[in-house]
Every structure is written in structure tokens, then in C-alpha cells.
């Protein structure tokens, strides 16, 4: 029957249609090769080194963040600098988020899950230690410090 008159001017010519079909076929062939290559266990780069997978890359980043957080916590206990304690707390949180991000990887398996869980557990523990260290002293301690420092200013007055 053919195209209606109003669509006839928009119809592609045969050369353009052939080029479009060739591009579509080439794209499907590349997609098929990419999917077939993705099913292999190990992909090699140009240098012959195995390419780091998505989950491996993210787990390595999470591990490096955790190691940096642990180093900052150790540095805090040596130097007593509050900035290093805050950095340890933040880096531990970043390590937890990086480990949790492995769930979205296409190659997330049971081994990656167990490694991610171990980083999350260690990061939570480090965050708990850092948070407990940075807590303010209790009210009684503050009251005692206030009385010791300004005891003469409050002499004879009941401030308890």
C-alpha cells in the first residue's frame, strides 16, 4: 500500500536506510561480543595484568579508607589532636559507604559480600571508639571543673 502522502517526504531514501541498518547490525554485533567477553572469568588488559573488577576496586578503596581511619585514630592517641579524631571518624564512615557501594556491582558475589561485611563491621567499631572518645564529659565532671576553676567567685553561694 505504501506510506501516506504526508509521511512520504519524511521517509528515508534507500541509501540512508541501508546505512542505518548497517549501523544497527554493527552495534548489535559489538554488544554481542561485549556480552560474550564479559562472561569470561578474567579479562586481560593490554599489559597482561588482570583488570580489577568493580567490586574489587571498591573494596580496595574501602580498605584504604579504613586503614587511613585507623592510622588517624592511632595518631590521635599519640598526639591528642582533635582534628585527627574527627578525621578518623569521617574516614571510617567513608569506608563503610565505599564497602556498601559494592552491592551495586555486577560482579558482587559471596566472597565480595563477606569482605564488604568485614570492612563495614570494622568501620562501625572504629566509629564507635572514635565517637566514645570525642564525647563531652558528664554534667558532674563539668560542675567539678567549674567549682575548681571558679570556686572563689562562688564562695558562700549554693551552686549545686
Q: Which residue has the cell 567513608?
A: 94
- Angle among Cα 87, 93, 98 to the nearest 5 degrees reads 120
pLDDT (0 to 100) of residue 33: 60
Q: Is residue 67 part of a domain?
A: yes
- Yes or no: say if 143 and 91 are a contact pair by the CB < 8 Å rule: no
Name the pTM for this structure.
0.55
Q: Is residue 28 part of a domain?
A: no
44-74 confidence digits (pLDDT tens): 444 555 566 888 899 999 999 999 999 999 9
Average pLDDT over residues 82-96: 91
4-44 confidence digits (pLDDT tens): 565 555 555 566 666 677 777 777 666 666 555 554 444 44
- Domain tally, the chain: 1
Cα(40)–Cα(147) distance, integer angstroms: 72
- Domain interval for residue 127: 54-135
Higher pLDDT, 33 or 113: 113
Q: Is residue 20 part of a domain?
A: no
Q: Is residue 127 part of a domain?
A: yes
Cα(77)–Cα(55) distance, integer angstroms: 33
Cα(16)–Cα(8) distance, integer angstroms: 15
Amino acid at each position: 500500500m505504501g506510506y501516506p502522502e504526508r509521511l512520504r517526504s519524511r521517509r528515508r531514501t534507500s541509501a540512508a536506510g541501508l546505512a542505518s541498518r548497517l549501523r544497527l547490525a554493527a552495534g548489535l554485533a559489538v554488544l554481542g561480543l561485549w556480552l560474550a567477553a564479559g562472561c569470561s572469568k578474567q579479562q586481560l588488559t593490554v599489559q597482561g595484568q588482570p583488570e580489577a573488577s568493580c567490586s574489587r576496586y571498591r573494596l580496595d578503596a574501602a580498605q584504604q579508607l579504613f586503614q587511613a581511619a585507623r592510622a588517624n585514630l592511632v595518631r590521635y592517641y599519640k598526639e591528642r589532636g582533635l582534628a585527627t579524631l574527627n578525621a578518623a571518624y569521617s574516614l571510617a564512615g567513608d569506608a563503610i559507604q565505599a564497602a556498601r557501594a559494592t552491592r551495586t556491582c555486577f560482579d558482587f558475589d559471596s566472597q565480595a559480600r563477606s569482605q564488604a561485611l568485614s570492612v563495614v563491621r570494622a568501620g562501625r567499631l572504629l566509629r564507635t571508639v572514635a565517637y566514645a572518645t570525642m564525647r563531652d564529659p558528664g554534667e558532674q565532671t563539668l560542675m567539678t571543673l567549674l567549682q575548681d576553676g571558679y570556686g572563689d567567685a562562688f564562695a558562700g553561694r549554693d551552686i549545686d
